[in-house]
Amino acid sequence: MRLRIPEHLAIIMDGNGRWAERRHLPRIAGHHRGVEAVREVVSECRTLGVRYLTLYAFSSENWGRPEDEVKALMGLLVRYLASELNDLCARSIRFRVIGETDRLPAEVAQVLRETMERTKDNTSMVLTLALSYGSRNEMIRAVRSLAGEVAAGQLTPEAIDEERLNLALDTAGMPDPDLLIRTSGEMRISNFLLWQLAYTELYFSEELWPDFSRQKLHEAFAVFARRQRRFGLTSAQVADQDVHSEENCH
């Protein structure tokens, strides 16, 4: 079977804390080890030709975690971006952020802006971190934005369609994910890209995120390659489309 690489891969990186607790280590140790998994997955996705990689790094609900853990996570994020900037540029990876970034500490927000500015012209892959992100909040902000345009007479209610709403979301300009991976054995999407995941293939891995390796990524892609994405059509219709697509390629 032909290997099919998702154009847009989204990942819920779950299990850092449990990884540490099982080893009787502080929870932050799991997050440190999780950064190594991030490096490996980003590198492999770039090598395989993934065009968009979106990582759920810190949710809106994560602000409710113990203050010392949140502070440590913010510091880890700053150090990660500082250490990876040169590599992102060398690999021509563009960096983006989605979420309520105005809630982030000033130091973090500054490093994010600098990283996005330095990588804005890179073209090989877009790496997006979802930080202080919640999909319901994202949709509320999008609807408020559109309502403001309607109130100002800049937009009619009839003009609001899927495309217009897409443009109002944090992910504007990005295709919807083809594949979502969630680690740690949990089988839910936890308020992540609810609108964008409408037709995304879901893959749940038993591995805790710090143990998610290049090999596990390949296994997920192999499962993805075996799936038929129908988008509401029948299998026969999809097969017919694939035949016509291959004929046009020749």
In the block, which residue shows the tokens 């291959």?
A: 246
Strand arrangement of the beta sheet that strand 52-59 belongs to: 93-98, 125-133, 52-59, 8-12, 179-182, 201-204
Which are the catalytic amino acids?
14, 62
Task: Provide mean pLDDT across the span 14-29.
Answer: 96
Cβ atoms of residues 96 and 116 within 8 Å: yes
Q: Of the ranges 68-72, 95-99, 242-246, which one carries the lowest mean pLDDT score? A: 242-246
Asked whether residue 2 carries a pLDDT value surpassing 90, the answer given is no
pLDDT tier for residue 229 given thresholds of 50, 70 and 90: confident
Supply 29's token pair. 């140790």
Q: What is the dihedral of CA 117, 77, 50, 219, to 10 degrees?
A: 180
Asked whether residue 250 carries a pLDDT value surpassing 90, the answer given is no
Task: Provide mean pLDDT across the span 158-171.
Answer: 98
Domains, in order of start, for the chain = 8-135+175-249 (3.40.1180.10)
Question: What residue type is 180 in one-letter code?
Answer: L
Q: With pLDDT > 90 as the criterion, what percentage of the chain qualifies? A: 89
* Secondary structure class of 54 (helix, strand, coil): strand
Cβ atoms of residues 40 and 211 within 8 Å: no
Asked whether residue 236 carries a pLDDT value surpassing 70, the answer given is no
For residue range 195-222, list pLDDT tens digits in order. Answer: 999 999 999 999 999 999 999 999 999 9
17 annotated as ligand-binding? yes
Cβ atoms of residues 180 and 197 within 8 Å: yes
27 annotated as ligand-binding? yes
39 annotated as ligand-binding? no
pTM value is: 0.92
166 annotated as ligand-binding? no
How high does pLDDT run on average in the chain?
93
pLDDT tier for residue 228 given thresholds of 50, 70 and 90: confident
Cβ atoms of residues 37 and 211 within 8 Å: yes
Task: Provide mean pLDDT across the span 117-134.
Answer: 98
Biggest CA-to-CA distance, the chain: 59
